Structure 1
């Protein structure tokens, strides 16, 4: 078995590789996932925001500068928490060092719960949906992104992929990925599972998106065309 979730990024070599990748031009997070998150999120003015698996919290700074009232990040990786604390210094914000599974969610506290590319590390997602639901104010929203089930059902290999083989799509559970110089375990589930889990927890599902590339987000036509081949990310939003 490989690393699971936050402990993956507490390997210093993996952490450094990941941070370097995020700085690269045309990285998938910034060209595919982030533009959709911002579009689906809309105006955050005056909102109290909880960010589950906040990483280095650079996105939290963007939300604060866009007018959110306060920001709380929950992050399990010590390396990420240190980076987040430095980035958030001087802002009305806080980062807590805890796994998502162990953090005690307060009731009726947040207007928006956000999680970017983290929930595919969670084994018992249905229980987490319920805990998030009770932590939201009436009318509050959950917005999250995960690796697309087409990706988590595909054999994970190192290097740039040139083809994808979807296999055992309806078999939920951990899949191993060789990534950033290490092996990490992610949980595969279907689009249907993500959608029905939200409904079961009491959410009204408002949006479902699949990170379709937009040409204006890419410097190079070749990268754009490669990203058009397969969806990398699934994004969902639900309202309490």
Structure 2
């Protein structure tokens, strides 16, 4: 199933008010980690899967990428990305990530931010990304951490006063569909373990360069003391991989 919640007016309206939608990459709590995983983009061809408003696409061009292609299933997302972009070296394609069909060895770098946990088959994505990457190319992405996606109820366990006691993890080894709530709307996510993410990459021919888990930056902790709870469990998983030779 190819899910497109972002073209729902109510959902999109809520999403565009999120800090990462208003402030861009600096409003994303994991950006300081993901940014460090992205290789030198100068003169590189870049593909962004699930590009949203195009923040990562514009960042790539700021880093002197030669060309950038952003893909997103949502018409509203692509429309907003186009409105915010004034650069002929950035092109946007409205399409499901599952349907990408680029030429072999077309890109130097493929990036994706918080999209793959909405996609049922991660191995198929790995195969497609591997094919369209040049030899030695980089694949850098973030997803919601499996600790976060293990339960349908993706929230803290609180006492009667609303104090956060702990983050519950259950059914971790039972992979598959999760019906949960995001921005007060029902959404479908796909839970898979950390080892599955890593092994699917390896089985597709990738070499793993780094695996990172999210934590708030010092600046975010200073500006928003509530972010300290993000040190109690990782919300995001980030992986950097490289195309090997199968």
Give 1:190's aligned residue: 193
Give 1:180's aligned residue: 183
| In the alignment, structure 1 residue 101 sits paired with structure 2 residue 98 | yes
For residues 191-230 of structure 1, the aligned pairs below 5 Å read: 191-220=194-223, 222-230=225-233
Name which structure has the greater RCO, CA cutoff 8 Å, separation 6+: 1
Give 1:129's aligned residue: 126
The separation in 1 between residues aligned to 2:146 and 2:188, in whole angstroms, is 14
Q: Cα offset for 1:23? A: 5.2
Alignment equivalent of 2:18, drawn from 12, 18, 21: 21
The separation in 2 between residues aligned to 1:126 and 1:99, in whole angstroms, is 16
Provide the TM-score with structure 1 as the length reference: 0.91
Specify whether residues 183 and 117 from structure 1 end up closer, same or farther in structure 2 by C-alpha distance, changes over 3 A only.
same
Q: Cα offset for 1:159? A: 9.2
Consecutive unaligned residues in structure 2, runs of 5 or more: 159-163
Report SS of the residue matched to 1:168: coil
Q: Cα offset for 1:214? A: 2.7
Q: Cα offset for 1:90? A: 3.0
For residues 12-161 of structure 1, the aligned pairs below 5 Å read: 12-22=9-19, 30-156=27-153
Q: Cα offset for 1:220? A: 3.7
The separation in 2 between residues aligned to 1:32 and 1:166, in whole angstroms, is 22
Where has structure 1 moved over 6 Å in runs of 4 or more?
Answer: 24-29, 158-161
Of 223-232 and 144-153, the range deviating more from structure 2: 223-232
- Does structure 2 conserve the Cα–Cα contact (< 8 Å) formed by 1:213 and 1:224? yes
Provide the TM-score with structure 2 as the length reference: 0.89
- Does structure 2 conserve the Cα–Cα contact (< 8 Å) formed by 1:71 and 1:94? yes
Q: Deviations over 1:102-142 (max 9, x none)?
A: 22122100000001000111111101101100100010010
Q: Cα offset for 1:24? A: 7.8
Q: Cα offset for 1:25? A: 8.8
Q: Cα offset for 1:195? A: 0.4
Consecutive unaligned residues in structure 1, runs of 5 or more: none
